Chain A
Amino acid sequence: MCDQTFLVNVFGSCDKCFKQRALRPVFKKSQQLSYCSTCAEIMATEGLRENETLASLKSEAESLKGKLEEERAKLHDVELHQVAERVEALGQFVMKTRRTLKGHGNKVLCMDWCKDKRRIVSSSQEHAVTMPCTWVMACAYAPSGCAIACGGLDNKCSVYPLTFDKNENMAAKKKSVAMHTNYLSACSFTNSDMQILTASGDGTCALWDVESGQLLQSFHGHGADVLCLDLAPSETGNTFVSGGCDKKAMVWDMRSGQCVQAFETHESDINSVRYYPSGDAFASGSDDATCRLYDLRADREVAIYSKESIIFGASSVDFSLSGRLLFAGYNDYTINVWDVLKGSRVSILFGHENRVSTLRVSPDGTAFCSGSWDHTLRVRDGGRWAF
């Protein structure tokens, strides 16, 4: 006796083409649908394409990336230090600490200058304004100087309007603006007090409206925590760059939320990114103990700033006003000053007793301030330089 198999024909409207046909069950991602036979066949071949999956997609991605590298390399006809040979060398820099700000009871994690060039906001592991979390890892000054934004392990970015009235309780006026699903690593106001850009440990960046707390745009694409961001000083565009634990630095279009360019040459987490003053390039500092300069028009890395004797990661970078100097704070408690064009180190600064966590040049370029885990902030500048 042979087994008899019965085919049950169910009539109805197909889930795909909606025509009245005999239907077959089709499983798509563990969900059962009913397709007519024609659609089922189409499905089978599509399924084949989908099931070619990871292996073929991966190889396609790899080959495209290879082609991209080739294209980039074609236009690379000269190195920066070669071009810079005819530039005059800078002399020896003598940088002195002009102010040492002590007042934090714990590690200084982040700082920002006010546009009036004189005031600074800084955040630390314990905060003067009562915050619900201990590590406040990001802080920023509003362009008007009337508010500050900060956040950290509380996964939020809060805006505090600044008041000089001692009776006012700052915590009471705080406005919670951004909500992420992991810690906040960096925040920055755009050109006004009304919008904030944030980067978070959940791998995304986001643009928020301060007034309403509404999410205006989110930026997905990093494969791991995003640690830093910087807005482009460009005249018409809305772009910004972010760096993360996936060793990638990505340039985003604020309007569309798309990643415009990506650079993956670092060998470890990127701790800090900063645009070159002209907006055509940006520098990044990473745990692999190097800082690198990436050009946006040439679409490639154009310089590496590293030295054998530097074995600790760079936590924070910033340019001087003309872009000739790159200041980088490292986890071995020092600050190295690099000549951007020649690629050589101009000077090394000691003074901090624990790792340098944040470093910013003042808006008018007269000095730069470094904050460290030794609870202090130091404002320094180049007094004299001589050959």
Chain B
Amino acid sequence: MERVVVSMQDPDQGVKMRSQRLLVTVIPHAVTGRDVVQWLAQKFCVSEEEALHLGAVLVLHGYIYPLRDPRSLVLRPDDTPYRFQTPYFWTSTLWPAAELDYGERGDGWPQTSSQDRGPQVPQGRAELAPLQPAPVLPAIYLAKKNIQKQGALVDYEKECYDQLHKKISHAWDLVLMQAREQLRAAKQRRKGDRLVIACQEQTYWLVNRPPPGAPSVLEQGPERGSRTASHVHMTKSADFYKREIEYCRRALGRTRVKSSVCLEAYLSFCGQRGPHDPLVSGCLPSNPWISDDDAYWVMNAPMVAAPTKLRVERWGFSFRELLEDPMGRAQFMDFLGKEFSGENLSFWEACEELRYGAQAQVPTLVDAVYQQFLAPGAARWINIDSRTMERTLEGLRQPHHYVLDDAQLHIYTLMKKDSYPRFLKSDMYRGLLAEAGVLLDTKRRVFPFTRRPRRSSPSPALLPTPVEPTAASGPAGGNGVA
């Protein structure tokens, strides 16, 4: 943020500054809200809305303050005059003023470290001036205000003033004396300067001690270990380096793929899935969140009599997609049944159950799997090569979650390379594709006279790729209409 603000104040390229007239006094080096927004929009090539937002954030953090209405830290994109806060008051310079108890903090801010309370701001301390510690500073500020306004402080300020008075009543004389001193010194300045300083201070305190109910921009969330310098994990011991070296050696031995290959893969993935992505291509009949019509969800429920065409297409994208969809898996199971290799899928499912199941179930599950699939002469004996079988049986003596991994991988690869492609070419799958209803756009029903509801006739849709481009783009094109 500071980078932005500094560049804004650059005399040549920064925001245009001029002397502003505020009531009677003239304030030098002021900028208008509109100028700020425009400069930001131009510099970062963003829309006005975004520039306004960015500017507003800068104001909220106290880097720019309004001259006319100093109580509300809002950026108005018009003639309202603003000024840049002096670095002395920037939120990142942490001085003792930051770590105090001016007023009670509303939320129970958890203390996870023994360090000072208060906002944890990323930058380190930069003490620009020797200042008094603890609650004296805000006390002085409030006392000044009190004297100036002759006791007419705003509610919460009054409360805080009273609280502070109680806390440091012993030093109250000092506080009052300082306040009067500062006021007297200020009187000797020009009115313009006085106004500016008052606004600066006001902004600073608004940011650092927001009135109750207003969110504090300095809140950072629970403390993270990395900020404390003496975190145990940061010590670079010999062990740490040894692990790094070991990791590097392993990594050097790894096979890598050329970037071009990987990146092409993204293109084809996105291209293939684009039409299936509701946020990119919309969804038929309508997005339930927009139209409040559940039809889309009903049609795509996990188990449904007639799966949609898009869904059936997705089964052809990858074996994983097929298995992840309960309907797809059921269809595949049927298909395998016809080929008398259904036990493969059942075995795979049992292995998954073992991998992700409860620890207590492991022995029973392993036993059941053995009895059903692996034991010689088992009812649903799976066909894996002898070496894997030996290894698996050996491992079964000490069952754990991953003991069947080898066998599972073997069977999975078998299904993927062999049964899956045949499934995609099978009549069963093609039949499903052909039957899958072409979806109706609900809006179409409103104007029945413009279009007839479409039904996909057994068209030559033999390939698992969208064959009806015209039909598909028809309703999609219609979607462009509000």
Selected from A210, A235, A262, A302, the residue in CB contact (under 8 A) with B358 is A210
Interface size class of A (residues with CB under 8 A): 35 or more
B233 touching A364 by the CB < 8 A rule? no
Contacts of A367 in B (CB 8 A): 278-279, 287, 289
Contacts of A68 in B (CB 8 A): 248, 251-252
Is B458 on the interface with A (CB-CB < 8 A)?
A: no
**With A83-B263, A322-B273, A340-B266 given, is the CB distance from A299 to B222 under 8 Å?**
no
A298 touching B287 by the CB < 8 A rule? no
Is A118 on the interface with B (CB-CB < 8 A)?
A: yes
**With A298-B259, A311-B1 given, is the CB distance from A106 to B356 under 8 Å?**
no
A381 touching B356 by the CB < 8 A rule? no
A129, B272: Cα distance in complex, Å: 43
Contacts of A182 in B (CB 8 A): 225
Contacts of A384 in B (CB 8 A): 282, 479-480, 482
A255 touching B405 by the CB < 8 A rule? yes
Is A267 on the interface with B (CB-CB < 8 A)?
A: no
B85 to chain A, nearest CB (A): 17
B182 to chain A, nearest CB (A): 35
Is B238 on the interface with A (CB-CB < 8 A)?
A: yes
Contacts of B222 in A (CB 8 A): 135, 137, 153, 183
Is B23 on the interface with A (CB-CB < 8 A)?
A: no
Contacts of A333 in B (CB 8 A): 53, 57
**With A98-B289, A366-B278 given, is the CB distance from A302 to B263 under 8 Å?**
yes
Is A64 on the interface with B (CB-CB < 8 A)?
A: yes
Enumerate A84-130 residues with CB–CB distance to B below 8 Å. 84, 87, 90, 96, 98-99, 106, 117-118, 125
Is B474 on the interface with A (CB-CB < 8 A)?
A: no
Q: Which of the 9-residue segments B14-22, B163-171, B239-247, B377-385 touches chain A?
A: B239-247
Contacts of B448 in A (CB 8 A): none
**With A125-B107, A278-B265 given, is the CB distance from A366 to B279 under 8 Å?**
yes
Contacts of B263 in A (CB 8 A): 78, 80, 83-84, 295, 302
Q: Which of the 9-residue segments A4-12, A49-57, A164-172 touches chain B?
A: A49-57
Contacts of B260 in A (CB 8 A): 77-78, 83
B224 touching A269 by the CB < 8 A rule? yes
Interface, chain A (partner B; CB < 8 A): 50, 53-54, 57-58, 60-61, 64-65, 67-68, 71-72, 75-80, 83-84, 87, 90, 96, 98-99, 106, 117-118, 125, 133-135, 137, 153, 182-183, 190-192, 194-195, 201, 203, 209-212, 214, 216, 221-225, 227, 233-236, 238, 245-246, 255, 259, 261-262, 269, 276-278, 280-281, 295, 297-300, 302, 307-309, 311-312, 320-325, 332-334, 340-341, 348, 350, 353-354, 361, 364-368, 373-374, 379, 381-384, 386
Known: A64-B245, A269-B226. 8 other contacts (CB 8 A): A83-B267, A216-B401, A224-B224, A277-B273, A320-B279, A348-B50, A350-B53, A374-B215
Nearest 10 CB-CB pairings of A with B: A322-B273, A309-B44, A245-B226, A322-B277, A64-B248, A192-B356, A57-B241, A209-B359, A297-B257, A235-B320
